[in-house]
Structure 1
Amino acid sequence: MLRIAVLVSGGGTNLQALIDAQNRGEIPNGKITLVISSRPDAYALKRAQKAGIGTKVLRRREFAQQEAYDTALLRLLDENQTSLVILAGFMTIISGRVIRAYENRILNIHPSLIPAFCGEGFYGLRVHEAALARGVRVTGATVHFVNEICDGGPIILQKAVEVKPGDTPELLQRRVMEQAEWKILPQAVALFCGGSLQVQNGRVEIKEAAE
């Protein structure tokens, strides 16, 4: 059973999708055992506590240097015997040191079809505002491994979502969450925990599950 740590900063809707999937038995080889929040008031912490999952708060501002923060984060992950790290709306920078320690073991969910509307400055409603401003007809979400390039890691799963006339950023954000993010994030976690993901030359190969 792989031990999973989920890093959060806000409401935790993607965390809830993972908890629900786990409760339905859809992540058979993995278990969420730790939720780390960058804010003590994040509602995601309440979701975790309600589900009986251990929580920690780690605030970047409490550390004078990135190196000290990295050490504290890695210590928490190590104490949890973490096999997989999931960034679920985590708004604190993950350094190269942490990424290297968990190479191809950190997943992120991004609310667009990468490489569209991604990278530096594209997060939250900004992604959907940009999509609407560009006039795209289709958007969606992407789950990818994290590397040292912002939103540049190998893509695992993507799901398209229709952009409708009259959409606001808020309406589009909700549709992308409901129709894409909450579906493909648990799927990607299940694939990882089942040993079905392999990174070759910067691309993800999804292997058939063993009989």
Structure 2
Amino acid sequence: MRLGFLASHGGSAARFLTAACRDGRLGAVPVALASNNSASPALAWAREAGLRAAHLSGAKYPDPDALDAAILAFLQEAGADTLVLSGYMKALGLRVLSAYAGRLVNIHPSLLPRHGGRGMYGDRVHEAVLASGDVESGATVHLVTAGIDEGPVLGQVRVPVLPGDTLATLKARVQATEGELLLGALRELA
């Protein structure tokens, strides 16, 4: 596999998977990362790590179709055959969705379908889990389709919600499971 990444902020999944590729835990090659955020730490990291990197956003491409085409061209020119969303906070266009159908992966910090969909990302997900009174949470790796957080599930890991949990404690426990879950899903996909 030749991995491409899309990230909006820190890109923790891209960093984890790149390290796994380089130390032999994943038989893949990380090739490119694009971000919609010119100040994204993930973008700076990707350049330092030797990945092809680009800032591709609505600011540069106000027409959504042009942005979709630019993202696809960037990934294809880098030779990416599998695409991983690493905290990417924008909806994808039909060109990218079609080109990477069945090879486009995302990780979500809940047990989908619970606490997924539009507006459910980051701390909002953990807050919703705590507010709902759920006794467990976790993480889900899924294929990306046109519906937000609606693609087929590739794997899940369950994490208990403990009495006295706060946003910080629950988030830390879920995040601690995400890298290995994503790694396992990509091994299966390969």
| Structure 2 counterpart of 1:189, from 183, 186, 189 | 186
Is residue 110 of structure 1 aligned with residue 102 of structure 2? no
1:102 Cα deviation from its structure 2 partner: 1.5
Q: How does 1:116-135 map to 2 (within 5 A)?
A: 116-135=114-133
Once the two structures are TM-superposed, the CA of residue 96 in structure 1 deviates from its matched residue by 2.5
Superposed displacement of residue 4, structure 1: 0.9
Q: Deviations over 1:36-91 (max 9, x none)?
A: 11111111123323322221111122222111111111110111122100001001
Say which SS state the counterpart of residue 25 (structure 1) adopts. Answer: coil
When structure 1 is superposed on structure 2, of 16-25 and 139-148 the one drifting more is: 16-25
* Alignment match, 1:209: none
2:102 aligned partner, one-letter code: N
Q: Contact (CA 8 Å) 1:6, 1:34: kept in 2 or not? A: yes
Amino acid at match of 2:24: G
In the alignment, what sits opposite 1:3? 2
1:199 paired residue number: none
> Structure 1 residue 94: deviation in Å?
0.4
Amino acid at match of 2:137: T
Q: Counterpart of 1:14?
A: 13
- Distance in 2 between residues matched to 1:116 and 1:108, nearest whole Å: 15
Aligned-pair CA distance for 1:140 = 0.4
8 Å Cα contact 1:60/1:92 also seen in 2: no
Distance 1:118 1:84 in 2: 23
1:98 aligns with 2:100: no
What corresponds to 1:161 in structure 2? 159
The one-letter amino acid of 1:33's match is V
Per-residue deviation, 1:172: 1.4
Note the 1:47-86 alignment, pairs <5 A.
Answer: 47-86=45-84
Distance apart, 1:20 and its partner CA: 2.2
Partners in 1 of 2:170 and 2:70 — Cα distance? 36
Gaps of 5+ in 2: none
| TM-score, normalised by the number of residues in structure 2 | 0.94
Moved over 6 A (4+): none
The SS at the match of 1:61 is: coil
Contact 2:72 2:95 in 1 (8 A): no
Judge conservation of contact 2:68–2:94 (CA < 8 Å) in 1: no
Identity %: 37
Tell me how far apart the structure 1 counterparts of residues 45 and 172 of structure 2 sit (CA, whole Å). Answer: 19
- Report the counterpart of residue 168 of structure 2 in structure 1: 170
Relative distance call for 1:80 and 1:23 in structure 2 (3 A) is: same
